[in-house]
Amino acid sequence: MRKLKWTIRIILLAIFGLFFHYVLPQHDIVRFVSTSEKYTDFSVWNRIFYASADSGNADSPSRDVTLFHGFYPNGNTIIYRNEDTGWIWPPYFKFDSADLHAEVRNLVSTEEAPKWASITHYGWRIPFLGVYPNAVAIRPVASPDEFIIPYFNIVFFVLLAAFLLFLRAMWRQFRERSVDPVLESASDKWDEVEADVSEQRGRLGRWMGSWRRKPRQ
């Protein structure tokens, strides 16, 4: 039973960890080399990873998706998509995908004369599903070695921890005031019932014993 509880806890922790890793903002230092548009047909496997159509456009099962192509400082490639999130999930309230496209085009550079940028995004790159992280914001940086402190994530997890501790304290108080007295009362009642049953059995045993024939002397 103890192993089952720990297994369930680990599974729930993994689910919440993946969820927060997907929706919370991440920051990369990237050198952009080009932008493009890719006609994408959405399926049941990848539709959940895409936002709705850009503000002012009708949503459809297929559409052109703007992509940003770049390189990490170590030379590895990365591709981002550029979609408005609008008022829906996740709540980035992004309506400026066209402006972001212009900013990236202005930062396109070569390996000989690189322009580095810090790009804020959420989501994952899943090649076999055709899924890309969604770019949210971008700003130029002087060096690929610039360290980005994730202030939002730090504040978010501090507030989340405080909220969970608050819920835990409320539950413990509720349990002490409401649940534990009920359980103790039920336990006392059960003990009384067991004691009463034992007493009735004893009386029945003595009554039946009185009907037994006494052994001859």
pLDDT at res. 208: 63
Q: Mean pLDDT over residues 36-55, rounded?
A: 76
pLDDT > 90? residue 60: no
HSE at residue 209, side-chain half, CA atoms within 13 A, is 6
Give, as one character, the DSSP assignment of residue 179.
Answer: I
pTM (two decimals): 0.75
Q: What is the pLDDT of residues 172-211, one digit of tens each?
A: 887 777 766 766 666 656 666 666 666 666 666 666 666 6
- Residue percentage of the chain with pLDDT more than 90: 51
More reliable by pLDDT, 125 or 41: 125
pLDDT > 80? residue 59: no
pLDDT > 90? residue 39: no
Query: In the structure, what pLDDT confidence band is assigned to residue 166 with cuts at 50, 70 and 90?
Result: very high
Q: To 10 degrees, the CA torsion angle through 30, 28, 96, 81?
A: 80
